[in-house]
Amino acid sequence: MPLQVSDYSWEQTRTAVFISVPLRGVSVRDADVFCTENYLKVNCPPFLFEVFLYAPIDDESSKAKIGNDTIVFTLHKKEAAMWETLSLSSVDKEMMQRIREKSILQAQESAKEAMEAKASARREDQKYTLNVMMKIEEEERKRIEDMKENERIKATKELETWKEHQRKAEEHKIIQREEKLYQQEKQIEEERKKLKHKGLTRNSISRNLATKGRNSEIIFFEKLKEDSIPAPRSVGNIKINFTPRVFPTALRESQVAAEEEWLHKQAEARRATNTDIPELCDLKEEEKNPEWLKDKGNKLFATENYLAAINAYNLAIRLNNKIPLLYLNRAACHLKLKNLHKAIEDSSKAYRIMKLPLRLIHPTKLCKMMLRRFGI
């Protein structure tokens, strides 16, 4: 049974009420203060203090100070007036219970409104933050686009400048050639004028010089044509002879069938390699061999990287789908990954390639039998 505190004191002004409640051994940790517009309660076991206020107060701006075995309340009135008493007079138990319940409901509604206001403020903050981030990203994207556009304009200008420089260089070369031809013709004309004042021998010499001048003009014009027009390509046929394959071994010891089968597999692998498989674009020539891919898949299987091993076996099967070990190794990977249906399918394909009869056995046992028979 809590002890009701009755030896409290209070003072008032027109706007505030000051209540001093003595509680022996009270501390902030142990005191439970509950305050609404018309109700004030302090629960600090074994003490209990409650008062049903004479008029409404502003519970949000009111304060409580705990220290020196005393709680001092500063309650701000909603209406500026002097109270006749601190608490209501002639309050029965039913009325007290109604006031308590009403105060609890008010506190719950206030707490709910505060939570909703806090949640709304949080949403507004998140919305504002999102808008700020979107604005920053938009500005960054615009900055990058402007940078790209400036780089494009700069590259275009540099290209135009280079083209203009090339055009001027070509024009300069043409001008130099024309000047050289003009100097040659001028020299020839000067020689002709000198030879006109001489005798027959000089006339013959002038003819030779004229002939020489014409020949030099023809040579220069031919050089100009050779520089401007490339020579046509020659047409011809190239005949290739292949050395015939000879098997000198006796027929009973000959490996012709095995070699023919090997040649057939190699031809199929080359045809598969020449097909448009995107995965083969980044591979080297020695990596486009199904045997190399099988060994790669075996190494990946040994390191328990089953998905990568399956990818290696898939590419090897696309290159050559007549090798049963590729299906068996891929079935082993599916078995490790618990893909039993795919393991059964690959094991069955391997059996069909080897032309072995299938029996109704458990899928796990089927895969293990194939592994024991061929291994990885």
- Label residue 110 by pLDDT band (50, 70, 90): confident
What is the C-alpha separation between 255 and 25, in angstroms, rounded? 108
What is the C-alpha separation between 62 and 19, in angstroms, rounded? 12
Three-state secondary-structure class, residue 65? strand
Does residue 45 contact residue 2 with C-beta atoms inside 8 Å? yes
What is the DSSP annotation of 86-97?
Answer: SB-SS--HHHHH
The per-residue pLDDT for range 161-209, each reduced to its tens digit, is 999 999 999 999 999 988 888 888 888 888 888 777 665 555 555 555 5
CATH of domain 3-87: 2.60.40.790
CATH 3.40.50.300 fits 285-374, yes or no: no
Residues near 81 by beta carbon (within 8 Å), at least 6 away in sequence: 14, 55
pTM of the predicted model, to two decimals? 0.34
The per-residue pLDDT for range 60-85, each reduced to its tens digit, is 888 888 888 888 888 888 888 888 88
Does residue 347 contact residue 328 with C-beta atoms inside 8 Å? yes
Domain ranges of the chain: 3-87, 91-163, 285-374
The per-residue pLDDT for range 249-296, each reduced to its tens digit, is 555 666 667 777 777 776 666 665 555 566 666 667 777 788 888 999
The per-residue pLDDT for range 329-360, each reduced to its tens digit, is 999 999 999 888 988 898 888 888 887 655 54
Structure tokens at 283: 């591979």
